[in-house]
Amino acid sequence: MKYIDEFRKANLIHRAAAAIREMTPGYGINIMEVCGTHTQNFFRFGLDKLLPGNLNFIAGPGCPVCVSSQEYIDKAIAYARQGNTIVVTFGDMLRVPGTTSTLEKERAGKGNVLVAYSALDALALARKKPEHKIVFLAVGFETTASTIALSIMEAKKEKLRNLLFFPSLKTIPSAMSYLLRDKRLNLSGFLCPGHVSAIIGTKPYEFAPEKYGVGCCVAGFEPLDILEGIYFLVRQIVNKKALVENQYSRVVTRTGNFKAQRVISAVFRESDDVWRGLGRIPGSGLKLKNDFLEFDAEKVMPLKIKHVGLSQKQKLCRCGQVIKGLITPDECPLFRKICSPENPYGPCMVSIEGTCNAYYKYH
Ligand code: SF4
């Protein structure tokens, strides 16, 4: 198949769902879809209604906006308040609630905040506005890390002194490893993200079957891709043989994209990082290597932010548990009552990749 429409054909979707129903044993099976785009499309195309109830799908931490820590958001807001500084960010970050404000509110006030589609936009802006400091909010996973790394290399080549990066880049396999150690989740399989895997390949997931006996399947994002990925995982569970399988072989290989990996490792080093809901995970972040520290916003413009307590309503937000897969959004007391995509109380409702957003719109 070549065209998107072919992956959305109703008769093929129903056949694939029937094959899964036929194969699924009667006991409960927990499958985590790591990536927010899988969660979104799973509900958007109504796949949840076609599959047996004992197949439990747990939304994972693969939404970069959702897992950025509260402190990170507060610091981004503080950068937007610095005179002569322009914060450049992906649009999803604008409405993520910080402790007392959002980037959107700052933009409506005196803050300088611009939305970009990629780090290359920040690079172009830095060339155009040498009198301003440009701070790019570098959030995302391995897919985004490669273009950000390229922009940093280019900035170094051009000796741009006014472009800074505030990194909160994270790596997916380390979060999966952390979640596998949490026995409460009792995971039987991971549906792994196609875009991240296009960069890293399927090899980095091999620890899951080898060390934990839990299978993985990399899948694309169209309905048939998702169903085929689930079929592969259920087959592994029925056969009691955990593997790493690749449903998305039209894009993903075992070893991934060497060029992108080389660029990432030239600019970034592995470091510990804090994930909202999961806490500090060793080796799960990417920070700038010593050769590129002149582009590190935290080194060049260190900030001290005042810690203010959360409001009573913010304290009720249960994004942390949603991200960890411990509860579904409707178990949060604010869901649909006061928290909605128009009026989000937590990042999981802001981003289109957020689990609360997907539940609100489609579930
Ligand atoms: Fe947070 Fe809103 Fe989701 Fe509740 S419904 S966990 S408040 S984002």
For atom 7 of ligand 1, the residue with the nearest CA is 317
Residues 18-33 have a mean pLDDT of: 96
Please identify, by atom number, the ligand 1 atom nearest to the C-alpha of residue 319.
6
Ligand 1 mean position, distance from CA 108 (Å)? 24
pLDDT at 308: 67
DSSP 163-210: EEEEEEEE-HHHHHHHHHT-TTT---EEEEEHHHHHHH-SGGGTHIII
Tokens 């990432």 belong to: 264
CA-nearest of 91, 209, 190, 211 to 139 is 91
Mean pLDDT across the stretch 328-350? Answer: 93
CA of 10 to the centre of ligand 1 (A): 33
* Interval 308-319: pLDDT, tens: 667 777 788 999
- What are the tokens at 157? 């080549």
Is 160 touching ligand 1 by the criterion CB < 6 Å?
no
**Ligand 1 site, residue 95, Cβ cutoff 6 A:** no
- Looking at residue 44, what is its pLDDT? 93
Global pTM value: 0.91
Tell me the two tokens of residue 198: 């296009």
**Closest atom, ligand 1, to C-alpha of 350:** 8
Look at residue 83 in the predicted model and tell me its pLDDT. Answer: 87
- The candidate with the shortest Cα–Cα distance to 75, out of 158, 9, 139, is 139
Please check the confidence at residue 305 and state whether its pLDDT lies above 90: no
Q: Is 332 in the pocket of ligand 1 (CB under 6 A)?
A: yes
Percent of the chain with pLDDT over 70: 99
Residue pair 214/242 in contact (Cβ under 8 Å)? The answer is yes
The atom of ligand 1 lying closest to the CA of 333 is: 4
Look at residues 237, 264, 338, 342 and name the one whose alpha carbon lies nearest to residue 24.
Answer: 237
Residue 88 Cα, ligand 1 centroid: separation in angstroms? 26
Name all domains of the chain by residue range, CATH numbers in brackets: 65-171+256-300 (3.40.50.11740)
**Beta carbon of 59 within 6 Å of any ligand 1 atom:** no
CA of 79 to the centre of ligand 1 (A): 26
Helix%, strand%, coil% for the chain, nearest 5: 45, 20, 35
The closest alpha carbon to 163, from 267, 303, 300, 302, belongs to 300
Both tokens of residue 2? 């070549």
CA 176 to ligand 1 centroid distance, Å: 22
Comparing 7-16, 95-104, 302-311, the range with the smallest average pLDDT is 302-311
Q: Is 350 in the pocket of ligand 1 (CB under 6 A)?
A: no
Between 222 and 305, the more confident residue is: 222
> What average pLDDT score do residues 192-220 get?
98
Ligand 1 probe mutation, 316, 334, 361, most atoms within 8 A of CB: 334
Report the atom number in ligand 1 closest to the C-alpha of 348.
8
Tell me the chain's radius of gyration from C-alpha atoms: 21
Atom of ligand 1 nearest to the CA of 321: 6
Residue with tokens 């700038």: 288
